[in-house]
A and B are shown apart, each in its own frame.
Chain A
Amino acid sequence: GQSLEQPSEVTAVEGAIVQINCTYQTSGFYGLSWYQQHDGGAPTFLSYNALDGLEETGRFSSFLSRSDSYGYLLLQELQMKDSASYFCAVRDQRGGATNKLIFGTGTLLAVQP
Protein backbone atom coordinates (compact mmCIF):
# COMPACT_ATOMS: atom_id res chain seq x y z
CA GLY A 1 0.00 0.00 0.00
CA GLN A 2 0.90 3.65 0.00
CA SER A 3 1.63 5.43 3.25
CA LEU A 4 3.32 8.60 4.41
CA GLU A 5 4.41 9.09 8.01
CA GLN A 6 5.00 12.40 9.76
CA PRO A 7 5.45 13.44 13.38
CA SER A 8 2.09 14.40 14.84
CA GLU A 9 3.23 17.58 16.57
CA VAL A 10 6.19 19.93 16.62
CA THR A 11 6.69 22.95 18.86
CA ALA A 12 9.18 25.77 18.28
CA VAL A 13 9.70 29.41 19.20
CA GLU A 14 9.53 32.49 17.03
CA GLY A 15 12.66 33.07 15.00
CA ALA A 16 13.79 29.46 15.25
CA ILE A 17 14.23 26.84 12.54
CA VAL A 18 12.10 23.72 12.45
CA GLN A 19 12.24 20.60 10.30
CA ILE A 20 9.19 18.44 9.58
CA ASN A 21 10.05 14.97 8.32
CA CYS A 22 8.11 12.69 6.01
CA THR A 23 8.88 9.07 5.17
CA TYR A 24 6.89 7.37 2.47
CA GLN A 25 6.16 3.95 1.03
CA THR A 26 4.71 4.01 -2.47
CA SER A 27 4.38 1.60 -5.36
CA GLY A 28 5.68 4.26 -7.73
CA PHE A 29 6.95 7.76 -7.21
CA TYR A 30 6.84 11.03 -9.10
CA GLY A 31 7.68 13.48 -6.36
CA LEU A 32 6.83 14.79 -2.91
CA SER A 33 4.59 17.79 -2.27
CA TRP A 34 4.00 19.84 0.87
CA TYR A 35 0.78 21.59 1.86
CA GLN A 36 -0.04 23.97 4.69
CA GLN A 37 -3.44 24.08 6.38
CA HIS A 38 -4.51 26.68 8.92
CA ASP A 39 -7.24 25.74 11.39
CA GLY A 40 -8.99 23.34 9.04
CA GLY A 41 -9.01 25.86 6.21
CA ALA A 42 -8.07 25.30 2.59
CA PRO A 43 -4.82 23.35 2.18
CA THR A 44 -2.30 25.52 0.37
CA PHE A 45 0.48 24.19 -1.83
CA LEU A 46 3.95 25.05 -0.53
CA SER A 47 6.52 23.12 -2.53
CA TYR A 48 7.28 20.11 -4.70
CA ASN A 49 10.41 17.97 -5.10
CA ALA A 50 10.79 15.55 -7.98
CA LEU A 51 14.56 15.21 -7.76
CA ASP A 52 16.94 14.70 -4.87
CA GLY A 53 18.13 17.80 -3.12
CA LEU A 54 16.94 21.01 -1.60
CA GLU A 55 14.37 23.40 -3.09
CA GLU A 56 14.26 26.84 -1.51
CA THR A 57 11.32 29.23 -1.60
CA GLY A 58 11.82 32.16 0.74
CA ARG A 59 11.73 31.04 4.36
CA PHE A 60 10.56 27.56 3.38
CA SER A 61 12.75 24.85 1.90
CA SER A 62 11.98 21.26 1.03
CA PHE A 63 14.36 18.35 0.69
CA LEU A 64 14.03 14.96 -0.95
CA SER A 65 16.09 11.78 -0.88
CA ARG A 66 14.53 9.25 -3.24
CA SER A 67 16.93 6.49 -2.23
CA ASP A 68 15.85 6.87 1.40
CA SER A 69 12.15 7.47 0.62
CA TYR A 70 12.42 10.51 2.83
CA GLY A 71 11.83 14.20 2.65
CA TYR A 72 11.50 17.17 4.93
CA LEU A 73 10.12 20.67 5.06
CA LEU A 74 12.37 23.27 6.64
CA LEU A 75 10.88 26.46 8.01
CA GLN A 76 13.27 29.25 8.93
CA GLU A 77 12.76 32.47 10.90
CA LEU A 78 9.55 31.09 12.31
CA GLN A 79 6.65 33.46 12.73
CA MET A 80 3.48 33.03 14.75
CA LYS A 81 1.49 32.81 11.53
CA ASP A 82 3.39 29.64 10.63
CA SER A 83 1.38 27.80 13.28
CA ALA A 84 -0.59 25.35 11.16
CA SER A 85 -0.78 21.74 10.05
CA TYR A 86 1.69 20.61 7.40
CA PHE A 87 1.06 17.65 5.14
CA CYS A 88 3.36 15.82 2.77
CA ALA A 89 1.70 14.18 -0.24
CA VAL A 90 2.49 11.98 -3.21
CA ARG A 91 0.58 11.34 -6.42
CA ASP A 92 -0.95 7.88 -6.49
CA GLN A 93 0.05 5.74 -9.45
CA ARG A 94 -2.18 2.78 -8.93
CA GLY A 95 -4.88 1.88 -11.41
CA GLY A 96 -3.63 4.26 -14.07
CA ALA A 97 -5.31 7.27 -12.50
CA THR A 98 -2.28 9.25 -11.55
CA ASN A 99 -3.83 12.46 -10.33
CA LYS A 100 -5.14 11.70 -6.88
CA LEU A 101 -2.98 12.76 -3.96
CA ILE A 102 -2.20 10.55 -1.00
CA PHE A 103 -1.62 12.70 2.06
CA GLY A 104 0.52 12.09 5.09
CA THR A 105 -0.83 12.03 8.59
CA GLY A 106 -0.04 15.71 9.11
CA THR A 107 2.17 17.59 11.54
CA LEU A 108 0.72 20.26 13.78
CA LEU A 109 3.28 23.01 14.23
CA ALA A 110 2.87 25.29 17.23
CA VAL A 111 5.01 28.42 17.21
CA GLN A 112 5.43 29.99 20.63
CA PRO A 113 6.48 33.56 21.40
Chain B
Amino acid sequence: GAVVSQHPSRVICKSGTSVKIECRSLDFQATTMFWYRQFPKKSLMLMATSNEGSKATYEQGVEKDKFLINHASLTLSTLTVTSAHPEDSSFYICSARDLGAHEYTQYFGPGTRLTVL
Protein backbone atom coordinates (compact mmCIF):
# COMPACT_ATOMS: atom_id res chain seq x y z
CA GLY B 1 0.00 0.00 0.00
CA ALA B 2 0.87 3.65 -0.24
CA VAL B 3 3.38 4.91 2.29
CA VAL B 4 3.77 8.32 3.86
CA SER B 5 6.91 9.03 5.81
CA GLN B 6 7.73 11.73 8.31
CA HIS B 7 11.09 12.97 9.48
CA PRO B 8 12.16 13.24 12.19
CA SER B 9 10.11 10.74 14.20
CA ARG B 10 10.85 12.65 17.37
CA VAL B 11 12.59 15.90 18.18
CA ILE B 12 13.49 17.74 21.36
CA CYS B 13 14.31 21.41 21.13
CA LYS B 14 14.80 24.43 23.33
CA SER B 15 12.15 27.08 23.69
CA GLY B 16 12.50 29.80 21.07
CA THR B 17 14.04 27.64 18.38
CA SER B 18 12.40 26.56 15.11
CA VAL B 19 11.76 22.99 14.09
CA LYS B 20 11.07 21.64 10.61
CA ILE B 21 9.11 18.45 10.03
CA GLU B 22 9.05 16.75 6.63
CA CYS B 23 6.23 14.71 5.17
CA ARG B 24 6.84 12.63 2.06
CA SER B 25 4.62 10.42 -0.06
CA LEU B 26 6.96 7.61 -1.05
CA ASP B 27 5.23 5.86 -3.92
CA PHE B 28 2.50 8.19 -5.07
CA GLN B 29 1.88 11.81 -5.94
CA ALA B 30 -0.08 13.94 -3.53
CA THR B 31 -1.53 17.26 -4.64
CA THR B 32 -3.02 17.69 -1.19
CA MET B 33 -1.39 17.05 2.16
CA PHE B 34 -2.85 17.65 5.60
CA TRP B 35 -1.19 18.51 8.89
CA TYR B 36 -2.72 17.41 12.18
CA ARG B 37 -1.83 17.85 15.82
CA GLN B 38 -2.72 15.36 18.50
CA PHE B 39 -2.46 15.90 22.25
CA PRO B 40 -2.30 12.92 24.62
CA LYS B 41 -5.51 10.88 24.66
CA LYS B 42 -7.17 13.38 22.33
CA SER B 43 -8.32 13.09 18.74
CA LEU B 44 -6.45 14.44 15.77
CA MET B 45 -7.09 18.10 15.07
CA LEU B 46 -6.61 19.44 11.57
CA MET B 47 -4.20 22.35 11.48
CA ALA B 48 -3.96 23.10 7.80
CA THR B 49 -4.50 21.79 4.30
CA SER B 50 -1.58 22.10 1.94
CA ASN B 51 -1.93 22.09 -1.83
CA GLU B 52 1.11 21.72 -4.07
CA GLY B 53 2.27 25.03 -5.43
CA SER B 54 -0.15 27.21 -3.49
CA LYS B 55 -0.56 28.67 -0.02
CA ALA B 56 -1.82 26.43 2.72
CA THR B 57 -5.31 26.84 4.15
CA TYR B 58 -5.24 27.06 7.93
CA GLU B 59 -7.99 26.04 10.33
CA GLN B 60 -9.48 28.62 12.63
CA GLY B 61 -7.26 29.29 15.61
CA VAL B 62 -4.05 28.04 13.99
CA GLU B 63 -1.43 30.76 13.60
CA LYS B 64 -0.11 30.67 10.05
CA ASP B 65 2.95 32.73 10.98
CA LYS B 66 3.87 30.25 13.67
CA PHE B 67 3.22 27.06 11.72
CA LEU B 68 4.78 27.59 8.31
CA ILE B 69 3.77 25.08 5.66
CA ASN B 70 5.50 24.58 2.35
CA HIS B 71 4.30 22.12 -0.29
CA ALA B 72 6.91 22.58 -2.99
CA SER B 73 6.45 19.28 -4.82
CA LEU B 74 3.91 16.52 -5.31
CA THR B 75 5.75 14.31 -2.83
CA LEU B 76 6.95 16.68 -0.11
CA SER B 77 5.35 19.03 2.38
CA THR B 78 7.11 20.63 5.34
CA LEU B 79 5.79 22.07 8.58
CA THR B 80 8.04 24.52 10.42
CA VAL B 81 7.17 25.37 14.00
CA THR B 82 8.74 28.78 14.53
CA SER B 83 9.84 30.08 17.91
CA ALA B 84 8.58 26.92 19.56
CA HIS B 85 7.29 27.04 23.12
CA PRO B 86 6.49 24.22 25.57
CA GLU B 87 2.78 24.45 24.73
CA ASP B 88 3.68 23.47 21.14
CA SER B 89 4.81 20.08 22.43
CA SER B 90 2.55 17.59 20.70
CA PHE B 91 2.33 14.73 18.22
CA TYR B 92 2.25 16.10 14.67
CA ILE B 93 0.83 13.86 11.95
CA CYS B 94 0.64 14.49 8.23
CA SER B 95 -1.51 12.75 5.69
CA ALA B 96 -1.53 12.74 1.92
CA ARG B 97 -4.25 12.25 -0.64
CA ASP B 98 -3.25 10.00 -3.54
CA LEU B 99 -3.69 11.92 -6.79
CA GLY B 100 -4.30 8.77 -8.79
CA ALA B 101 -6.63 6.99 -6.37
CA HIS B 102 -10.20 7.36 -5.24
CA GLU B 103 -10.93 10.72 -3.68
CA TYR B 104 -11.55 9.02 -0.37
CA THR B 105 -8.01 7.68 -0.21
CA GLN B 106 -5.89 9.42 2.39
CA TYR B 107 -2.79 7.94 3.97
CA PHE B 108 -1.33 9.00 7.29
CA GLY B 109 2.31 9.31 8.22
CA PRO B 110 3.76 7.76 11.39
CA GLY B 111 3.83 11.08 13.23
CA THR B 112 6.51 13.29 14.77
CA ARG B 113 6.75 13.72 18.53
CA LEU B 114 7.84 17.29 19.33
CA THR B 115 9.01 18.15 22.83
CA VAL B 116 9.88 21.76 23.57
CA LEU B 117 11.89 22.29 26.74
The answer on A and B forming one complex is no
Interface, chain A (partner B; CB < 8 A): none
The chain B residues found within 8 Å of chain A, CB to CB, are: none
